[in-house]
Structure 1
Amino acid sequence: MPATLWPLGGLWLSITLMDGLRYDYDEDIHDRLFKIHEGAVQFVIDFMISSKCGSFLVTNPSLSPENTFISEAGTKGIFCEGSTMDMTLIRQALEQFNWSLERLSKIDHPLEQPVKDALARLPPLTINEKGLIQEWGINDYVEDEPGHRHVSHLYGLYPGGFIHPIHTPDLAVAAKKVLERRLANGGGHTGWSRAWLLNFFARLRDAKACGDNMDLLLSNSTLPNLLDSHPPFQIDGNFGACAGIIECLVQSVETEIDGLNVVCVSLLPACPDEWEDGHVQKVRVKQGWLISFQWGCKGHLVGEVEVFCTMGGADDVYIRGPDQFEQRVKGEAGRQYIFKV
């Protein structure tokens, strides 16, 4: 049952389409995709109901994909109120919807107020008494399989952006405890799951864990032709590994500094020591900035850092890297900046 019924799969696809606009914006494409996202948001607004306690809006029935818990009666359970992955996806989707209304100048949209009201009633990410982020939402159930290959309740860490070691340190600590518990009980035994772990640890800025998981992905879950092994071939692991490598080398987040919107870019945030030298060329980060740089001597920038702005109206970019490298530049389309390091 938990592998065949999950009502929010379509919402996740819609979120992914919308997220692409944060890297390469096109108003015509945005207008087309908005119609898809509008329908997905309408669905979740209609689907959510009040929680049993009356404090929140939740999906119900809900589940954490492919996982089961032990109920208070001691039996295995699947359905819950507002699983953590469900509610994190919904929060991201509703925030994307509000961003779209503003960007596309859609005034007096019939869903504007329902979305605003719903956002105010979504349950927060919850840390239980063991210091773990709860998987089944507002209910603190015990996992039936502590080493399960899925870590759905950490969607907010990756690919979502709700858990961050600097901006939400308590949640980041709780997320790391979840990962340590999963691994201590045999988690990461499929290729795609190991790739997801690589991305999780990259977001947590844990370079050693990134190196360890990359080694395990290559040694235990990669075929001689470099295809990912589930053990049968699954391309999820190949795509996930590529994403994880980039996350180790470059990360970007949209935030505020001194009341101004900026794109914060981190260079080599989780680069393992084993990756002694290398370079990246025109990696596209949030709001269309292209970043190029080299590193050597086990994690030190060398040569030049090149920054190119591709999008008009982009926020300023604030770049940080090792050896106290810091630069802040204006978002002007077609402008290139080169910094010696």
Structure 2
Amino acid sequence: MGIAWSCQNIWDHYLFGGDIEYLRNKAYPIMKESAEFCAAWLVTDPRTGYLVSGPSISPENRFVIPGGEGTASMVMGPTMDHMIIRDLLQNTIQASLILNTDKALRRKLELTLEKLTPTRTGSDGRILEWSEELEEHEPGHRHISHLYGLHPGNQITWQQHPELLEAAGKTIEYRLAHGGGHTGWSRAWIINFFARLQDGDKACENVYALITKSTLDNLFDNHPPFQIDGNFGGTAGITEMLIQSHAGEVELLPALPEKWGTGHIRGAMARGGFEADIEWENGQLKTAKITSRLGNPLKVSYKGKTFMLEATEKGKSYLFNKDLVQDQ
């Protein structure tokens, strides 16, 4: 699934920068081939009628073999596979629409999406790691692979699937309660999870844990001897606490913790080609300046308020106050 996951990065590169030639000549050909492979690889689960991947694993956890002894990892249809594939197919469909190409392939991928095994929850309300409810061998495993759809994916959002947000929260809390998040990169991923859940205080708690428990004096992430994932992931998580754009709108201060009462961020980029300067005071938005780099439509939100511009002027900055009223 490595190339399918990587395709999300090259798609995001286009969403942030808007380079249509990059999409046409570099990103889309890779996305297309990967989507074609995944669609051909999926098979129908005779028990459910849904499409599943496999044989495959949920990195890097294992489960207790039902009715037997020992543990195993190989199954048909781990949740992470399906989340990655769902992202890939959706993004490839969108790219083909932008480029006005491969209509037949687009329809094939749309049909595949309709049959792909959905994300499901177990009897305790947590998101299932595998296509059926199995007992984790390590309930506190450092990987939380089955939350790919929360981050870095965009399948679990309050805009589209709010019912899965609660399940995702239970999944994280269960892992942490059993010792999860004990490596730097894992802690960084958890920061991003809580940011996407819009729980600023818990995201902040894990930022401090990353710095105090998993960061060396030279600021390298300590996954002995060093792993860049914690550095990049921690930086991404802090940014996600202050601005998000994965759900079709620019969300300002979505997970601002109480401890960060007053502050600012400059030059934060959002999908759609927007650059934001944000100031806040006493835990509340003070002002936001959003500059359009591409001239795309802009939807901005803050604490339930939204403001929509059907078109923006390339290079122009738009100023907003705490109520998202546009300052002239």
Shift, 1:197, TM fit = 0.5
CA distance in 2, matches of 1:340, 1:134: 42
Aligned to 1:83: 78
Q: Deviations over 1:297-333 (max 9, x none)?
A: 2x1223x311111114x22323325xx7653334322
SS at match of 2:17: coil
1:318 matched to 2:300? yes
Instruction: Give 2:146's match in structure 1, choosing from 153, 161, 186.
Output: 153
CA distance in 1, matches of 2:58, 2:285: 41
CA distance in 2, matches of 1:112, 1:15: 17
Instruction: Give 1:236's match in structure 2, choosing from 205, 226, 229.
Output: 229
SS at match of 2:280: strand
SS at match of 1:23: helix
Amino acid at match of 1:286: R
Aligned to 2:288: 305
CA distance in 2, matches of 1:27, 1:274: 41
1:99 matched to 2:94? yes
Instruction: Give 1:24's match in structure 2, choosing from 13, 17, 21.
Output: 17
SS at match of 2:16: coil
Instruction: Give 1:133's match in structure 2, choosing from 127, 131, 156.
Output: 127
Range 167-176 or range 186-195, more displaced: 167-176
CA distance in 1, matches of 2:113, 2:220: 41
Aligned CA distance change for structure 1 residues 52 and 219 (closer, same or farther; 3 Å): same
SS at match of 2:320: strand
1:70 matched to 2:64? yes
Q: Taking structure 2 as the reference length, what is the TM-score of the superposition?
A: 0.92
Amino acid at match of 1:317: K
Shift, 1:40, TM fit = 0.7
SS at match of 1:133: coil
Aligned to 2:317: 336
Instruction: Give 1:278's match in structure 2, choosing from 248, 256, 263.
Output: 263
Contact kept, 8 Å, 1:191 with 1:231, in 2: the verdict is: no
Q: Deviations over 1:149-175 (max 9, x none)?
A: 000000000111111245322211111
Output the aligned Cα RMSD: 1.6
SS at match of 2:288: strand
Aligned to 2:106: 112
Q: Deviations over 1:204-251 (max 9, x none)?
A: 111111121111111100001111111321000000000000111111
SS at match of 1:157: coil
Range 161-170 or range 84-93, more displaced: 161-170
Contact kept, 8 Å, 1:251 with 1:266, in 2: the verdict is: yes
Aligned to 1:12: 5
**Structure 1 residues 181-330: aligned runs within 5 Å:** 181-254=174-247, 263-297=248-282, 299-302=283-286, 304-312=287-295, 314-321=296-303, 326-330=306-310
Instruction: Give 1:124's match in structure 2, choosing from 118, 121, 141.
Output: 118
Which consecutive residues of structure 1, in runs of 5 or more, have no partner in the other structure? 1-7, 255-262
Contact kept, 8 Å, 1:81 with 1:139, in 2: the verdict is: no
Shift, 1:116, TM fit = 2.0
Amino acid at match of 1:216: A
Aligned CA distance change for structure 1 residues 325 and 128 (closer, same or farther; 3 Å): closer
Shift, 1:265, TM fit = 2.1
SS at match of 2:109: helix
Amino acid at match of 1:20: H
Range 237-246 or range 56-65, more displaced: 56-65
CA distance in 2, matches of 1:203, 1:300: 19
Which consecutive residues of structure 2, in runs of 5 or more, have no partner in the other structure? 323-328
SS at match of 2:249: strand
Contact kept, 8 Å, 1:320 with 1:327, in 2: the verdict is: no
Shift, 1:54, TM fit = 5.1
Aligned CA distance change for structure 1 residues 225 and 80 (closer, same or farther; 3 Å): same
SS at match of 1:318: strand
Contact kept, 8 Å, 2:254 with 2:302, in 1: the verdict is: no
Percent identity for Structure 1 against Structure 2: 37
